[in-house]
Amino acid sequence: MTYHLKLLPLALLVAASLPALAQQPSLQENARQLPQPRTGAAPAVQPAPAGAPMQAGGQQATLRRVVISGNTRIGSEALLAAIGPVDGKSFDFAGLAALAARVTAHYQQAGYPFARAYVPQQDLSGGDLRVEVLEGRYGKVTAHGEPAFVKGAQGFLSALPHGDIIESGRLERVTLLLDDQPGVRTVPLVRPGAEVGTGDLLVEVKRDHRYKGEAGLDNYGTRATGRTRAHASVDVDSPFMLGDQIAAQALYTQEGMWFGSLAYAAPLGYSGLRGRASYTHSYYDLAGGFAALGARGTADVASLGLSYPIVRSQVRNLILSASVDHKRLHDRQDATLTDTQKSSTVVPVTLSFDVRDQFLHAGITFGALSWTRGKLGMHGDTQAVDATSARSAGSFNRFNLDLARIQSINDRLDVYARVSAQWTGHNLDSSEKLGLGGVNGVRAYPNGEGYGDMGWVAQTEIRYAVGAVVPYLFYDAGRVTLNKSPWTTLDNHRALGGGGIGVRHARDAWTAGVTVAWRSHGGASQTDESTHSPAVLANLAYRF
- Does residue 368 form part of some domain? yes
519: helix, coil or strand?
strand
Question: Are residues 57 and 72 located together in one domain of the fold?
Answer: yes
Using alpha carbons, select from 295, 343, 347 the residue that is nearest to residue 321. Answer: 347
Over its C-alpha atoms, the chain yields an Rg (Å, rounded) of 30
Global pTM?
A: 0.89
Residues 393 and 501 in one domain: yes
Question: Are 69 and 187 within one domain?
Answer: no
Residue 424, classed as helix, strand or coil, is: strand
Listed in sequence order, the DSSP H helices in 200-294 are none
How, if at all, do strands 258-267 and 44-45 pair?
A: unpaired
- Contact assessment for residue 132 and residue 116, using Cβ atoms and an 8 Å cutoff: no
Residue 356 lies in a domain: yes
Specify whether 55 is located in the same domain as 66: yes
The SS3 call for residue 83 is helix
Cβ contact 350:367 at 8 Å:
no
Does residue 181 form part of some domain?
yes
Choose the final residue of a domain: 207, 229, 259.
207
Check whether residue 426 and residue 447 sit in a common domain.
yes
Whether 126 and 186 map to the same domain: the answer is no
Question: Among the residues of 283-419, which ranges form H helices?
Answer: 381-387
Instruction: Answer with the one of 155, 186, 207 that is the final residue of a domain.
Output: 207
Measured distance CA(436)–CA(24) in Å, rounded: 12
Q: Which of 367, 368, 495, 372 is nearest to 432 (CA)?
A: 372
- Where does a domain end: 158, 188, 207? 207
In a domain, 442, yes or no: yes
Determine, yes or no, domain membership for 274.
no
Per-residue pLDDT in tens (0 to 9) along the chain, 544 residues: 444 444 444 444 444 455 455 444 444 555 556 666 666 666 777 666 665 565 666 789 999 999 999 999 999 999 999 999 999 999 999 999 999 999 999 999 999 999 999 999 999 999 999 999 999 999 999 999 999 999 999 999 999 999 999 999 999 999 999 999 999 999 999 999 999 899 999 999 999 999 999 999 999 998 888 999 999 999 999 999 999 999 999 999 999 999 999 999 999 999 999 999 999 999 998 887 777 888 899 999 999 999 999 999 999 999 999 999 999 999 888 888 888 889 999 999 999 999 999 999 999 999 999 999 999 999 877 787 888 888 889 999 999 999 999 999 999 999 999 999 999 999 999 889 999 999 999 999 999 899 999 999 999 999 999 999 999 999 999 999 999 999 999 999 999 999 999 999 999 999 999 999 999 999 999 888 777 889 999 999 999 9
Long-range contacts (CB closer than 8 Å, 24 or more residues apart) made by 349-352: 349/320, 349/321, 349/322, 350/320, 350/321, 350/322, 351/318, 351/319, 351/320, 352/34, 352/35, 352/318, 352/319, 352/321
Same-domain pairing of 128 and 190:
no
What's the structural domain count of the chain? 3
Question: Are 323 and 385 part of one and the same domain?
Answer: yes
Could you tell me if 366 and 324 are in contact, meaning their C-beta atoms sit under 8 angstroms apart?
no
**Statement to judge: residues 353 and 387 lie in one domain:** yes
Pair (26, 122) in one structural domain: no
Q: Which domain holds residue 192?
A: 137-207
> Which amino acid does the sequence have at 345?
T
Residue 452 and residue 496 in contact, taking contact as beta carbons nearer than 8 Å: no
Q: Are 404 and 367 in contact (CB under 8 A)?
A: yes
Extended beta strands in 70-156, E state: 90-91, 116-118, 128-134, 137-145
Distance from C-alpha of 121 to C-alpha of 192, rounded to nearest angstrom: 23
Mind listing the pLDDT tens digit for each residue in 15-72? 445 545 544 444 455 555 666 666 666 677 766 666 556 566 678 999 999 999 999 9
Edge to edge, the sheet with strand 128-134 lists 65-69, 128-134, 116-118
Asked whether residue 472 is domain-assigned, the answer is: yes
CATH number of the domain enclosing 511: 2.40.160
Q: Tell me, yes or no, whether 249 lies in a domain.
A: no
123 and 186 both lie in a single domain = no
Q: Tell me: do 129 and 143 sit in the same domain.
A: no
Given a contact cutoff of 8 angstroms between Cβ atoms, the answer to whether 243 and 182 are in contact is yes
First to last CA, the chain: 55
Q: Which CATH number covers residue 67?
A: 3.10.20.310
Closest CA to 207 of 164, 152, 168, 247: 152
